[in-house]
Homo-oligomer: A and B are copies of this chain.
C-alpha cells in the first residue's frame, strides 16, 4: 500500500529530519547558561558550518522550540533568546548589563488551578523579572 501523501485538509507536515545544521544548532545550546540570541547561536555554529545561513538558524531554533527541545524566551527587551533548559523556571534580566539569569521557581499551583476552574486552559507561561543583578547592584551603589 502506498504511504498516503500529505493530507488534504490538515497541514500535517512530515517528520523533522536530522540535518547537520539542526544538530549543530541544538548542540551549540547545550550546557550554555547564557541564553544566547539567534545571532549569537549563528556565530557559534558558523565556526563548525561556515556556510550556514542565519535564516536556517532562525528556522531551526523555532522548530526546536516547537518540539519542546529548547525554550524560546522573549524578555521584551531586545531579540529573543534561547535556552536549553526546558524545565519550568523564570528569568531575571539585568537592566544594566542585560544578562539573563535563571530564577528557579514555578507558578503557584493554586493559581493555574483557579484559572482552569474558571474555564481557562493554561498551556505555558513566561515570567521575566527586571532589575539589577548582584554584580551591577553592587557596582551602582559603590558608584
Chain A residues packing against B (C-beta within 8 Å): 72, 74, 76, 80, 92, 95, 103, 105, 107-108, 111-112, 115, 118-134, 137-138
Contact = CB atoms under 8 A, between A and B. Distances in A.
25 contacts: A74-B74, A74-B76, A76-B80, A92-B115, A95-B123, A103-B111, A107-B127, A108-B108, A115-B129, A119-B133, A120-B131, A120-B132, A120-B133, A121-B132, A121-B137, A122-B129, A122-B130, A123-B130, A123-B131, A124-B131, A125-B127, A125-B128, A125-B129, A126-B127, A127-B127
A107 B134 CA distance: 20
Contacts of A72: 76
A131 B128 CA distance: 18
Nearest to A134: B119
Contacts of A103: 111, 115
B125 A121 contact: no
A130 B124 contact: yes
